[in-house]
Structure 1
Amino acid sequence: MIHTICLNPAIDQTVGLAELVPGEVLRADFVRLDPGGKAVNVASVLADWGLPVTVHGLLGADNADGFEALFTRKGIADAMIRMPGATRTNIKILETGGRTTDVNLPGFAADAAAADAVRAGLNAVTGLAVVSGSQPAGLPADTTARIVADLAGQGARVVLDVSGAPLTEALSAPVLPYAVKPNRHELEAFAGRSLADRAELVAVARDLLARGIGLVVVSLGTEGAVFLSAEGGVQVRPLALATGSTVGAGDAMVAGITAGLSEGLPLADLARRATAFAAGKLRNAGPHLPPKAEVEALAQQVALCPVEAWMAGH
């Protein structure tokens, strides 16, 4: 059983437009609603791959129906704690050319008691656990770090995908996650300096490895991603087939990383798997994978470059 932890879920409302023109009255081409939040998306994709998954965290009681329907449809075990109020809505404005503008609305507030209840529900979790996404208002900045420390202390391998203060707290704590997936900007915020230079970026990532993290994946947008572990390092070039909404693509990559870890894949194969998950998700609206054979075929198309060659500009 893989466990995902989502403290601040969201309903993703994707609005399709020909072009976003500020100040104008615009007519939408379509609108769709998807239960989301990073760790919910990860759970959804893992379930599509056929892995057993339980989702933990906090969920607004007023509009939980869509989440409950998703969990039932995909066979995801629901261990989320219901909170008074509604889960927030994140508006994704998707233009025909592919550009997406996010407007994230506020949701329910939580307190230390709610965080403690989530932590109590995780006290028997071992194996793989994914902690991803933001924290709701009202929680201390170190809440995510405490959850990571709890899980790691129980022997769980934690895959972490958060940003801002929760990332800094988690990476500064004595007990670290097993794997972390920041993007370049998030890693720069943690390091406190620009990492435009490739060698500098890799040096910061390798410092995390030296401190005890087993796998560091840095997503680089149009440059793909860098995967580093004790086995070495590779840069993965993105597949040029983005045809759908990018909403949840990063979460699909986290799901691919987790699926690869669950199977004990070597670094190169894990990088291909994660990239194929992200590319496969782009073929679907919402956090859903295409059929397994299609994802495996995508993985065979992924091109890898040794990280040393990438740093040298090749």
Structure 2
Amino acid sequence: MTDVVTLTLNPAIDLTVTVDRLTIGEVQRARSAQSNVGGKGINVAGCLADWDVKVAAGGVLGRFNDDAFVGFFHDKAILDRCVRAPGETRTNIKIADLATGSTTDVNLPGLAVDAGLVDAVWAAALKDLEPGTPVVLAGSLPEGLPAETWARMVADLAAEGARVVLDTSGAPLAAALGPEATRLPHAIKPNRAELEALLGRDLPETRDLVVAARELVARGVALVVVSLGAEGALFVDAETALAARLAPKAVLSTVGAGDAMVAGMVAALLEHASLDRLARLSVAFATAKLDRIGPHLGPKANVEDLAARVETRRLD
């Protein structure tokens, strides 16, 4: 039996290159280069496995270069529910700038995925579903799939009793929350820009973000988390709105920090935790990830120490 299922339709192998200072148009001399399996749902699964959660990872992998994923799943004791497709899983290039703490992404096109493969992913996910199981649908959709793909899977999973956590953006997020959606996700985690794009208006102030999140809660989303980078995040449910943050720390790479935040959300959902505990774990997971490359969380004791130091305040 598994505690959580994650689904990633557009995974990647992340090649992270670290430079002292990124200067566009000039030859760069790298300090280091490291390859890790990636894709938002894969990253979530890795962090949850480090939290001793039993995770099943589903999605689509290229059968010609799945060795890294097979090894990763084995090392983390993650149940491999991925469907194999012809071709290779894409490689994404991440350039980590040590001078600024920023990361520049160059994301390559993914595998060709059709409706038949999506059906196979769905069938694999069904093997691990129990009523109340959190299921994370994460990341972009491969080219060729309709924007409604995640929305349809949200509806199907909710009908099976799953608590769906959706982390996507753009047209797939709009479709999953739009008037045509028959069931809404249990939780979402947009950042400010994604929420502005979804609602079609600027949200410059904290109060604007809280109002926007409450609009989505009123539609039927149980939990809205708005990630704000170094400023932390906002956490809004039907009863409470919280702001949570930790003091800035040295950053090796921001890649996967948002995915780690989703993993913290899910870990708290498994605990049936209060919103305050959920906010603390989510911010602590994301912060713990900042000095690590790849889908790794680090020791639980360190994360709990960070969670205890998270500053939370009510916004209502």
Is the CA contact 1:283–1:290 (under 8 Å) kept in the aligned structure 2?
A: no
Is the CA contact 1:242–1:279 (under 8 Å) kept in the aligned structure 2?
A: no
Shift of 1:153: 1.1
**C-alpha separation between the residues in 1 aligned to 2:311 and 2:278?**
13
Shift of 1:101: 0.6
| Pairing partner for 1:285 from 293, 296, 302 | 293
**C-alpha separation between the residues in 1 aligned to 2:281 and 2:257?**
13
Instruction: Kindly provide the CA deviation profile for residues 6-45 of structure 1, in whole angstroms up to 9, marking residues without a partner as x.
Output: 0000111000111222222221111000001000000000
**C-alpha separation between the residues in 2 aligned to 1:197 and 1:247?**
25
| Pairing partner for 2:236 from 216, 228, 233 | 228
Alignment of 1:262 with 2:265, yes or no, is: no
Amino acid at match of 2:224: V
Shift of 1:110: 1.0
Alignment of 1:128 with 2:120, yes or no, is: no
**C-alpha separation between the residues in 2 aligned to 1:85 and 1:107?**
10
Map 1:85-104 to 2 at 5 A: 85-97=87-99, 98-104=101-107
Is the CA contact 1:231–1:267 (under 8 Å) kept in the aligned structure 2?
A: no
**C-alpha separation between the residues in 2 aligned to 1:241 and 1:301?**
13
Moved more, 196-205 or 143-152: 196-205
How many pairs does the alignment contain?
308
TM-score normalised by structure 1 residue count: 0.95
Map 1:52-63 to 2 at 5 A: 52-63=54-65
Corresponding residue of 2:111: 108
Name the Cα RMSD after superposition: 1.2
After TM superposition, the runs of 4+ consecutive aligned structure 1 residues lying more than 3 A away are: none
Amino acid at match of 1:103: V
Map 1:204-243 to 2 at 5 A: 204-243=212-251
Instruction: Kindly provide the CA deviation profile for residues 105-138 of structure 1, in whole angstroms up to 9, marking residues without a partner as x.
Output: 1121111111122122233523111111011111
**C-alpha separation between the residues in 1 aligned to 2:110 and 2:225?**
30
Shift of 1:194: 0.8
**C-alpha separation between the residues in 2 aligned to 1:123 and 1:291?**
31
TM-score normalised by structure 2 residue count: 0.95
Is the CA contact 2:252–2:293 (under 8 Å) kept in the aligned structure 1?
A: yes
User: Structure 2, unaligned stretches of length 5 or more?
Assistant: none
Q: Percent identity?
A: 54
**C-alpha separation between the residues in 2 aligned to 1:285 and 1:26?**
20
Residue 122 of structure 1 aligns to a residue whose secondary structure is helix
Corresponding residue of 1:166: 172
Residue 109 of structure 1 aligns to a residue whose secondary structure is coil
Map 1:1-314 to 2 at 5 A: 1=2, 2-97=4-99, 98-124=101-127, 125-126=129-130, 127-172=133-178, 173-308=181-316
**C-alpha separation between the residues in 2 aligned to 1:45 and 1:159?**
15
Residue 119 of structure 1 aligns to a residue whose secondary structure is helix
Is the CA contact 2:50–2:297 (under 8 Å) kept in the aligned structure 1?
A: yes
Is the CA contact 2:190–2:227 (under 8 Å) kept in the aligned structure 1?
A: yes
**C-alpha separation between the residues in 1 aligned to 2:22 and 2:252?**
17
**C-alpha separation between the residues in 2 aligned to 1:242 and 1:29?**
17
Amino acid at match of 2:154: V
Instruction: Kindly provide the CA deviation profile for residues 154-202 of structure 1, in whole angstroms up to 9, marking residues without a partner as x.
Output: 1100111001111001111120010111101111111011111332221
Is the CA contact 2:81–2:125 (under 8 Å) kept in the aligned structure 1?
A: no
Amino acid at match of 2:111: F
Indicate the structure whose relative CO is greater, using CA pairs within 8 Å and at least 6 residues apart.
2
Residue 144 of structure 1 aligns to a residue whose secondary structure is helix
Instruction: Kindly provide the CA deviation profile for residues 244-302 of structure 1, in whole angstroms up to 9, marking residues without a partner as x.
Output: 21111110000000000000110001100111111111232212111111111110110
Is the CA contact 1:226–1:307 (under 8 Å) kept in the aligned structure 2?
A: no
Is the CA contact 1:112–1:140 (under 8 Å) kept in the aligned structure 2?
A: no
Is the CA contact 1:239–1:279 (under 8 Å) kept in the aligned structure 2?
A: no
